A and B are shown apart, each in its own frame.
Chain A
C-alpha cells in the first residue's frame, strides 16, 4: 500500500504508557508509518496552526479525549472547523464508553471512536482493526483544499 506508507500518524496522548502500548500494537499489526507523539492538546493545536514553517500534514490523528490543558474534544473541534484540516481522519481514543461522549465525538466530526479496552487482547484487537482501517481508507496526500 504505497499510499498509506507516507501517512504520518499523529498520536495525541498524555499517558506515555498508553502511547507506548498503542505504538507497540500498531507495529505488531505491521503498521510501519511514522508516528509522532504529542502529549497535550495545545501541542496538537500548535502542530497544525502554530507559527513557523508549515509542516507536512499528518494524515491520520489518533486523539485521546482526556488531555490536560486543551481537551481532546476541543482539539477535534478546532481541526474540524478549519478548512485546511477538516478532511484529516480523526480517531478518538478514550477510556470510557459513555454514550454522550461518543455522540459528542461523532457530532464534532470524529471518524472513529475507540474505547481503550482494559484487556490486553481486546486492546490489541482494536488497534489491529485500526490498522485494517488504515489500509482500506483512502487518504489523500499532502495539503487539502477545502
Chain B
C-alpha cells in the first residue's frame, strides 16, 4: 500500500477517535443500548493497537537491517582500502594529501602522518616534484588533463630518496562543495625487473645463437677447406707419378729402339729376358701405375667437385621446372629411344632455386632412372611435384631394376656404387645431388623395391625466396 494511502487511513482513524472521545466526554447524552457497540469498539481498538505495534516492529527491523548494511558497506570499503595491494592516495584541489592506505605507506616508506596534510609532490622525484603544483593549477584553469582519467607509467620516490617505477591512475571525485583526486599506485618494480631479466636472457640467447652459428659456420668452412686442401695436395704427388711414368716410357722407347742392335750380343736367354722386360713387363707395370693414377685423379676431382658444390653461391631465381625437366629429357633422348622409355611429366610448379643446380639434380636423377632401367621390360619414368607447407616435393619414379633395401642408405654416400656394376660411373652422382638439394634447404630420400622400381623424392624450401641461406 502506498505511503499516502497509509497516511489517509491513519488520519481518518484519528478523526474518528476524536469524535468518539468528544462523545464520551458527555456520558449522559450517550444513547441507551450501546454497550454492545462499545464492546465492539474496544475489540477494534485492541486490534488496531496490535497492528500498530506490528508495524512499529517491522519498521524497526527494516531500520536495523539498513544500518547493518550501511555499516557492512563502510567496513568493506575500509577493508578494501586497508588490504589493497596497490597504493591508494587522495589529495585535495591544492595537492594536499587527505588519505593514504597501508599499501601506499609501504610502497613509499612513509607513515601516514608524515604524508597526510603535506603536498603529494614529496612522493615524486624531480622534475615532477617541483612542477606538480603547476600541473594541478593548469588542470584547474584549463580542464586539460594529462593523467587524470587515464593512467601512465611514472616514477615514485621513496622516503629514502630511491625511486621506483609505478603505474599511476588518477581519477577525479566531485563532492558536494569541492573535488578530490584519487591516485591508484601500482608498483612496477617486479615487472620492470622481469622485463629487464627477460631482455637480458633474450640478449644472452641471441649472443649464444650468434656464437653457435659462427662456430658452425667455421666448422663448415673448415670441412670445405679441408676437402679442398686435401684434394689439392693429393694431386701434387700424382703429377709426379704420372709424369715420371711417362719419362720411364720414353726411356724404355729409347732402350727398345736400341734393342735389335743389342740382343744379338746377348745370350739367348738373357736376350729374351731383356726383350720381355722392356717390351712387356715394364709397359705393363707402367700401365698399372697410370691406370691407378688416373683413377686416383678422378676420385680427387670428385671430392673437389663435391666441396665446390657445397661452397658455391646459389643464384636463386624463379625456375619453371616443367621446361627444365623437358630440356633435361632432350639430352637423354638417345638413351631413352634405345630403351623405349615412356616418360610422364606431371604438372610441375615454378620454384625459387638455382637453375644450374636444379638442372644438375634432375639431370642426375633422370640419367640414373634411364641407365638403371630393367632391360626385360619397357621403361616408365614419371616426374611429379607436390606443394606442401613451406616446401615443394619433387619425385622421380621409375620401374627399373630397383635397389636392395640394405643398399638404400648408402646410395647417397660419395664413391658408393650399389647393385650390379654394369653401368660406368664414379659413384658420385647422388652425392652431388644430395649436396645440391641440401644447399636448397631440402633433403632427398629414396624408396625402392628390388625388381620393381625406384622413387627419389627431394624437397626445395620455399623460404629460399625470402633470402634465407642454407650454407
A47 to chain B, nearest CB (A): 23
* A-chain residues with CB within 8 Å of residue B236 when the two chains form the complex: 15, 18, 66, 95
* B245 touches A (CB below 8 Å): yes
Closest to A65 in B: B232
The CA-CA distance from A119 to B238 in the complex, in Å, is 10
Closest to B247 in A: A24
* B-chain residues with CB within 8 Å of residue A118 when the two chains form the complex: 235, 238-239, 242, 293-294, 297
A26 to chain B, nearest CB (A): 13
A96/B239 in contact, CB under 8 A = no
Contact of B235 among A17, A21, A96, A120 (CB under 8 A): A96
* A-chain residues with CB within 8 Å of residue B238 when the two chains form the complex: 118
Closest to B293 in A: A118
Q: Given A96-B304, A98-B228, A118-B297 in contact, is the A18-B239 Cβ separation under 8 Å?
A: yes
Q: Given A24-B247, A95-B235, A98-B308 in contact, is the A119-B242 Cβ separation under 8 Å?
A: yes
* A-chain residues with CB within 8 Å of residue B231 when the two chains form the complex: 96
B245/A120 in contact, CB under 8 A = yes
B244/A21 in contact, CB under 8 A = yes
* B-chain residues with CB within 8 Å of residue A116 when the two chains form the complex: 235, 239
* B240 touches A (CB below 8 Å): yes
* A-chain residues with CB within 8 Å of residue B304 when the two chains form the complex: 96, 98
The CA-CA distance from A18 to B233 in the complex, in Å, is 13
B228/A120 in contact, CB under 8 A = no
The CA-CA distance from A96 to B301 in the complex, in Å, is 9
Within 8 A of A (CB), among B402-442: none
B242/A95 in contact, CB under 8 A = no
* B-chain residues with CB within 8 Å of residue A24 when the two chains form the complex: 247
Closest to B234 in A: A95
A95/B240 in contact, CB under 8 A = no
Q: Which of A18, A66, A95, A118 has the most CB of B within 10 A?
A: A118
B240/A18 in contact, CB under 8 A = yes
B240/A21 in contact, CB under 8 A = yes
The CA-CA distance from A18 to B238 in the complex, in Å, is 10
* B-chain residues with CB within 8 Å of residue A49 when the two chains form the complex: none
The CA-CA distance from A116 to B242 in the complex, in Å, is 11
* A42 touches B (CB below 8 Å): no
B242/A17 in contact, CB under 8 A = no
Question: Contact flags (1/0) for A9-48 with B, using CB distance below 8 Å?
Answer: 0000001011001001000000000000000000000000
* B243 touches A (CB below 8 Å): yes
* B246 touches A (CB below 8 Å): yes
Closest to A124 in B: B246
B401 to chain A, nearest CB (A): 34
A96/B243 in contact, CB under 8 A = no
* A-chain residues with CB within 8 Å of residue B308 when the two chains form the complex: 98
B242 to chain A, nearest CB (A): 5
The CA-CA distance from A123 to B244 in the complex, in Å, is 12
* A-chain residues with CB within 8 Å of residue B232 when the two chains form the complex: 66, 95-96
A18 to chain B, nearest CB (A): 6
The 4 closest A-B pairs by CB, nearest first: A120-B246, A17-B240, A21-B243, A95-B235
Task: Pick 8 A–B contacts, CB within 8 A, sort by A.
Answer: A15-B236, A15-B240, A21-B243, A95-B232, A95-B236, A95-B239, A96-B231, A119-B242
Q: With contacts A95-B232, A118-B238, A118-B242 known, what are 4 further pairs, Cβ within 8 A? A: A18-B240, A21-B239, A24-B247, A95-B236
